[in-house]
Structures are given as C-alpha cells and as structure tokens.
A and B are shown apart, each in its own frame.
Chain A
C-alpha cells in the first residue's frame, strides 16, 4: 500500500460513505492506477534519454500512458500527470491540448490506417502551433504508427522507448 493511498484512507473515506471496500475506495484506487500508468510511461520516456518528469516528451508519454495503458479518458489526464509528479502546470495543459487535438481530429482524416491519420493530425497541429508539446505529440504519434507495422526497424529514442514498453503492450516481443 503506497503512502499516497494511506494518506487518502481517512475517516471521511470510511464505512459511512462507501465503506473501506466501497464506492469511494474504488474511485481513489482508479485515480491511483491512472497516476501509476502516467508515472510508468514517463519512466520509459526517461529511459529513451530525453524524457522524464517535467519534460515535454515525458508529458506526451504520460498522456499516452493514462489513455492507452491506464484506460483513462482525456478529462482524467491532467490530474493523473499531477499525481505522477508533474508540477509544471503549463506543460501539463499543453500536453493535454496537443493530445486532445489529435484525438478530436484524427477521425476527420479519411485514411484507412488510423495510426497514420493520427500522424497527419499531429503534424497539422505541430505546423500550426510550433510548440515543444506539439513536437512531442508528433513524435509519439509517429512512434505509434511505426509500431503498428510489422517488422519495422526503429532507431534512436523511438526504438528504445518501443522496446521497453510499447512493444510488450502491443503483444509483440
């Protein structure tokens, strides 16, 4: 049991309002799970050499961790990043906005390959915004697109990140 969970296990979270195994307890466990998903994805971006907590690459990876690894939705991302150690509020918001744009507009790109549609949406956003968060989101979308192909040979940070988490998660070895 983590220190964070111990801190949450207060009297107002007791039996009278949901019980120790009740609704509120499960709601907080969900939040803990999403924060851990963000933290784990951030750690992978650190392994790639240019990411980590409070970096734009780390934030893009953490957003992906919450949405894909944690099964959360976009409204839960910002709080999960804060829970995983991100303190730069502006960086959190920029990362959420970048992913929000891609999520919203990738469906409008009429391509059969939906991963490639995300790349197109991310590159449109990057060209329009020209921010580090947009560039990090473009990198993430391209990594996802590459990993969606069989036998692709990645290089550099994308390859390291793919080997450590995205490949096992996609069921490849």
Chain B
C-alpha cells in the first residue's frame, strides 16, 4: 500500500500508471466503506453476536488501513477508551 501511495503521488514508478495506482487506492477505501455499511445494516436488522463481530471486523479493517495510509501509530487518545 505504501508503494501504491508513492506511485500515485508520482514519487516512484512501477508497472502501472499513477492513475491506476490512485484508482486502486480509491477502490480500497470504497471497499472498506461498503463492508462497514453492509455489516451495520445487518447488525441493526439483527443485533446478534455474529453480526456484531462482523461489523467490528469491518470497522477495524478500515481503521487499520487508515492508520497504515497515514503512517501513524494506532494509539487511542485515552488508555481507557477501546481501540479503534
């Protein structure tokens, strides 16, 4: 993903173009949002433990990607607050 970002920003070259790299990054973000949206719809219509687990898995994957893309350390603002 870091390499994709570098290619999209024009900092590196690869076997794919800047536009293709930008499109791949956008798809990753869209896919996270789609999965979070799908799982929350399931969770609200049926708040079972399995649907709750699926929602948190989708949310945490999106959060991990956000941290990764921003190159930041995933520390919660409060040690008492649950991690994202």
Contacts and interface: CB of A to CB of B under 8 A. Distances in A.
Interface of A: 105, 108-113, 116-117, 119-120, 123-124, 127, 135, 138-139, 142-143, 145-146, 148-158
Contacts of A145: 33, 36-37
Contact of A124 (B33, B37, B67, B81): B81
Interface residues of B, number: 31
28 contacts: A105-B81, A108-B78, A108-B81, A109-B76, A109-B77, A109-B84, A110-B72, A110-B75, A110-B76, A111-B63, A111-B84, A112-B69, A113-B29, A113-B66, A116-B62, A117-B84, A119-B36, A123-B59, A124-B81, A138-B44, A139-B40, A142-B40, A146-B36, A146-B37, A149-B33, A150-B30, A152-B33, A157-B41
Interface string B1-40: 0000000000000000000000000100110011011101
Contacts of A142: 36-37, 40
Given A120-B84, A127-B82, 9 more contacts: A111-B67, A112-B70, A113-B29, A119-B36, A123-B56, A123-B59, A135-B44, A150-B30, A152-B37
- Classify the interface of chain B: helix, strand, loop or mixed: helix
A94 to B, nearest CB: 16
B49 to A, nearest CB: 12
A135 B47 contact: yes
B34 A146 contact: yes
A109 B81 CA distance: 10
Q: Interface centre among B30, B37, B55, by most A CB within 10 Å?
A: B37
- Classify the interface of chain A: helix, strand, loop or mixed: helix
A47 to B, nearest CB: 17
Interface string B46-71: 01000000011001001100110110
Nearest to B45: A156
A142 B74 CA distance: 21
A149 B70 CA distance: 17
B42 to A, nearest CB: 10
List the 10 closest pairs (A to B, CB-CB), nearest first: A108-B77, A112-B70, A149-B33, A146-B37, A142-B40, A120-B84, A146-B33, A111-B66, A149-B30, A152-B33
